[in-house]
Amino acid sequence: MNDHTMKAVLYDRYGGPEVLYVDRVPRPEPARGEVLVRVHAFSVNGGELSARAGDLSLLFGRRFPKRVGLDFTGEVAALGDGVTSLDTGDRVWGVMGRTSGFGSAAEYVAVPADRVGRVPDGLDLVESAALPVATTAITALRDKAGLRPGERLLVRGAAGGVGNVGWGGRTARR
């Protein structure tokens, strides 16, 4: 096994889950301001399903292979120059950036340090893979809708990951 490669989930045509396969790809190296994270868990989002199905092919193009995974949790494996906010071995969760696109369904990801946060005490790395969805619920309820502690809100049709976290998760009940 080459130390400079890793396993990643890819697809080389649009379609359902049957188009996914695992292959070896170059292992990323963290650039200045980035961290290399050894991925422990990742989540699958509805937008990714639409992208893989080809529903967003005008946006994502027809160049293949493509990678999957937007959210991730793991441990910091290496620091790029200038990163002082994290240490090797820190347990983190994060979201791939706009420039890096999809790709968290892999053994490693290199992302800007400001795209990750430490996993809260008491959460394991699998549970914390839901944190990016929780931040969407928090942003919608607290920051956009202006919901404050003690206020009540009727949520109709709270389906999907964001709806479930926003309605039933600890984040909405602060």
Encode pLDDT of 51-94 as tens digits: 899 888 888 888 899 999 988 999 999 999 999 999 999 999 99
Are 111 and 160 members of one domain? no
Domain at 27, CATH number: 3.90.180.10
Are 157 and 112 members of one domain? no
User: Per the structure, how many domains does the chain have?
Assistant: 2
Domain span at residue 110 reads: 5-123
Are 142 and 92 members of one domain? no
Which pLDDT does position 163 carry in this prediction?
A: 58
pLDDT at 169 over 50: no
Work out the pLDDT band at 120, boundaries 50, 70, 90.
confident
Are 102 and 117 members of one domain? yes
Are 143 and 63 members of one domain? no
pTM recorded for the entire structure: 0.78
Are 109 and 158 members of one domain? no
Work out the pLDDT band at 134, boundaries 50, 70, 90.
low
In angstroms, the CA 115 to CA 41 distance is 16
Among 128, 123, 121, 122, CA closest to 37: 128
